[in-house]
Amino acid sequence: MTTHADSPAVRRLADWDHDRLESLAEEYDTPLYVTDLDRVTENYARFSSAFPDAHVMYAAKAHTGKSVLEAVLEAGGDIECAAWGELKRSIDAGADPNTLQYTAVNPPDHDLDYATDLAEDAPGLTITIGAMDTLDRLQARGYDGRIAIRINPGIGTGHHEKVATGADAKFGIPYERVPDVADRVRDEFDLVGLHAHAGSGVLTEGLEEHCRAIERVGEMARRVGDESLEFVDVGGGYGVPYREDDEPLDLEKTSELIRDAVGELDATLKLEPGRYIVADASLILSEVNTIKEAPETTVVGVDASLATLIRPAMFGSYHPMLNVSAPERESEPVTVGGPVCTSADVFAHDRPIARPEREDVIAIGNAGSYGYELASQFHSQPRPAEVALEDGEARVVRRRETLDDVTRVERE
């Protein structure tokens, strides 16, 4: 198993073993998530090696599957959580709660209850706040522990406006208010760090704007006294190439630009990659059930849907697709959609794919980040199974839901 930083910077859909994928679809049925845990480990190792003096945490919200969290922990990573469920799942996967960082965004009461109860026995837990109001709520719960302040740098970056968090008022303390908030935190809590997250899906060509936000974080750290801080966390957002002709993120250049942007610090630099670690480690296998010749296009119906992978419907995202049953057939442009009753349930319009036939298996690539995480039971469809690959072996890490699972929580 390759776990070194010299592993390939990107894993294209064509790089997967097509025969193996087809056999997995036959054995475990479709739609099916397939996650390569060896690739998760490789990606974490490569990213960490690019930032040897930094503290690299995995942003759990990208994929909270227990097997993925275990792989990150085994690789030596710590975990950043955005909700109480992620805290619980990280602990269940073996994380020491003293190493966890909880980034609270408009946190519900049960989130703060869980986090503060957890901190009673795990004083190393760090809570990141993005509103003065959260400090009041923590204080009301008797919490006076480790706090990081989330800064709103006023600059948003990323692949879509819906993920450009750095310029969204929902996220973080307004920039010029941070010194006053820092004074209060020092008086009433243990101020350990500053945090910011500019956006998501940043590739090499987007680094300049991304680093403008990081410059502001470094400036604020020195303004409030970085020598008294344990860390300065510049978040995640580091992208992967979804399109076949996009280049992978240049990690060497990324590391250099981020170090230059944040400037000289006494505090430790922290980063929180999520997408980079898991996106190309997972794909979806789906079976063709319908071929319909329409005047404008050929419609290929598959058993996966927006309930399986919502990113194309939510963000207009591109995901590579491959007919793993017959990749040698001549390609033709087809429209690929699922069984959900909305025009949004389409994975690709007029995409050249090796001519699909009924019962062929279509692979949808780069599904590891915000794939299963955003899966739903829309149309009362059970969520798919997930199979993990590790050291050449396959195992079910998430069983396929049944119709009984869909209705189990309803009152009789």
Among residues 296, 341, 410, 411, the one annotated as catalytic is: 341
To which residue do tokens 């910011």 refer? 196
**Residue 174 pairs with which residues in a beta bridge?**
152
CB 102 within 8 A of CB 125: yes
Distance of CA 170 to the CA centre of its chain: 19
Residue list for the binding site for pyridoxal 5'-phosphate: 237, 272-275, 370
At a CB cut-off of 8 Å and minimum separation 6, what does 389 contact?
Answer: 34, 35, 36, 37, 38
Alpha carbon separation from 247 to 204, 241, 244 (Å, rounded): 8, 6, 8
Helix (H, G, I), strand (E, B) or coil at 159: coil
Contact 28, 396 (CB under 8 A): yes
Report phi then psi at 28, rounded to 5. Answer: -110, 0
Catalytic residue flag (residue 341) = yes
Q: Which tokens is 23 given? A: 């056999």
DSSP alpha helices (H): ranges in 125-175?
Answer: 132-140
Tokens of 38: 């060896």
- The angle formed by the CA atoms of residues 175, 178 and 182, to the nearest 5 degrees, is 165
Quote the CA–CA distance of 75 and 281 in Å, as a whole number.
15
SS (H, E, C) 309-328: CCHHHHHCCCCCEEECCCCC
Indicate the annotated binding residues for substrate.
Answer: 275, 311, 370
Please give the Cα distance from 285 to 8 (Å, whole number): 23
Active-site residue numbers? 341
